[in-house]
Amino acid sequence: MVDPAGNPVRLDPWQNIVGVGWDGDEPEPPVEPPGPPVVAPSVRATATKTDVAGSYADITVTVPAHVDGDLLIAQIARSGDTGDDITAPAGWTAIFENLWVAEENAFGDCVPFGAKMSMFRRTASSEPADYTWTYDNTNSVRRVGGIASIKDADPTTPIEAFDTDTSTACGPGPGTPPRTLDIGNVSSTTDKTLVLVGFAVTETFMPSGAPLDPVGFTWGKQWDLFTGPVTQSVQLQLHTKKFPTAGPIGPLTHADLLPGEIPSIVNATIVISGVPT
């Protein structure tokens, strides 16, 4: 064996000469270049619909401004009983479907009525003006829904992770202190993600104003839909936030509920991956 100058080199068993090949001129192994940078997804536009009148079996939501290739996320909710499922129009893929929990009435009894929420996705391509979601029957007394167009989402696997949870509406009775709801128990495995948190709330007799507003939850609010302080009303919220690095998303700041209200609450956390440039 020789060194780069052509001089013989003696190796003892314990020696290790780095960068010297058998003929003295072998190059160092190549260094792998870094991968392409990733752009974090962001919301391009939104469109929503609130149906207050009762006894209808569907809800139609306008498609928001978008370009082909955008990720469309739909969040649809209703008030009703456990058997009244939400069905998506053709071409939409369910992220999760028909997440439901019962509520407690004014007498402290658990009743088979509550919030049900589904979320779907599709890649935008020659979209119609709107889409219609249907229900199993006309017990969906109130219906709300929204569609968000998201740019720069990974075109292959846009949904990196998601988690859902419900708040048990059948508690110790009306007038109890505010309850809490843990959200966001999910992690991202890539940098530069967009995280969505959605809530659906139903209460037989909601007070005036929004019954659910997460305390200390400073994310961007994409929509806050409420059918009003009417019987069997429903509220729908969607929040978003960009996360620059991979890792746990939550648990996030919990939601404080108004004292004396025992609503039915469902929530979901969805992680959307960015697209390499």
pLDDT at position 62, please?
97
Is pLDDT of 254 > 80? no
Is the pLDDT higher at 155 or at 184? 155
21 vs 38: CA distance, rounded Å: 38
Q: Which sign does the torsion angle of CA 15, 19, 25, 30 carry?
A: positive
Q: Is 232 left (phi over 0), alpha (psi -120 to 50) or beta?
A: left
Is the pLDDT higher at 174 or at 225? 225
Read off the pLDDT band of 160 (50, 70, 90).
Answer: very high
User: Average pLDDT for residues 223-250, to the nearest whole number?
Assistant: 84
Instruction: For residue 238, give the nearest of 21, 74, 59, 69 by alpha carbon.
Output: 74
163-172, 210-219, 267-276 — most confident range: 267-276
Is pLDDT of 29 > 50? yes
Q: Which amino acid is at 19?
A: G
Give 144-153 pLDDT, tens digit per residue. 899 999 999 9
Give 204-230 pLDDT, tens digit per residue. 555 444 455 555 567 888 998 888 766
249 vs 246: CA distance, rounded Å: 9
pLDDT at position 272, please?
93
73 Cβ contact list (under 8 Å, min separation 6): 95, 119, 120, 121, 147, 148, 150, 196, 270
pLDDT at position 63, please?
97
The percentage of residues in the chain with a pLDDT greater than 90, rounded to a whole number, is 32
pLDDT at position 21, please?
47
- What ranges do the domains of the chain cover? 39-276
User: What Rg do the C-alpha atoms of the chain give, in angstroms?
Assistant: 26
What are residue 79's phi and psi, to 5 degrees? -100, 145
**Residue owning tokens 């929509």:** 223
Give the tokens for residue 132. 């219609």
Helix/strand/coil for 170:
coil
186 vs 189: CA distance, rounded Å: 10
155 vs 70: CA distance, rounded Å: 8
Give the tokens for residue 105. 């009435």
Give 124-158 pLDDT, tens digit per residue. 999 999 999 988 765 556 788 999 999 999 999 99
215 vs 206: CA distance, rounded Å: 19
Contact (Cβ atoms closer than 8 angstroms) between residue 130 and residue 60: yes
Is pLDDT of 64 > 70? yes
265 vs 179: CA distance, rounded Å: 11
Q: Which amino acid is at 143?
A: R
98 vs 77: CA distance, rounded Å: 9
pLDDT at position 158, please?
94
Give the global pTM: 0.79
pLDDT at position 110, please?
67
Give 31-52 pLDDT, tens digit per residue. 766 666 788 999 999 999 987 6
User: Average pLDDT for residues 75-89, to the nearest whole number?
Assistant: 81
Contact (Cβ atoms closer than 8 angstroms) between residue 47 and residue 59: no
Is pLDDT of 92 > 80? yes
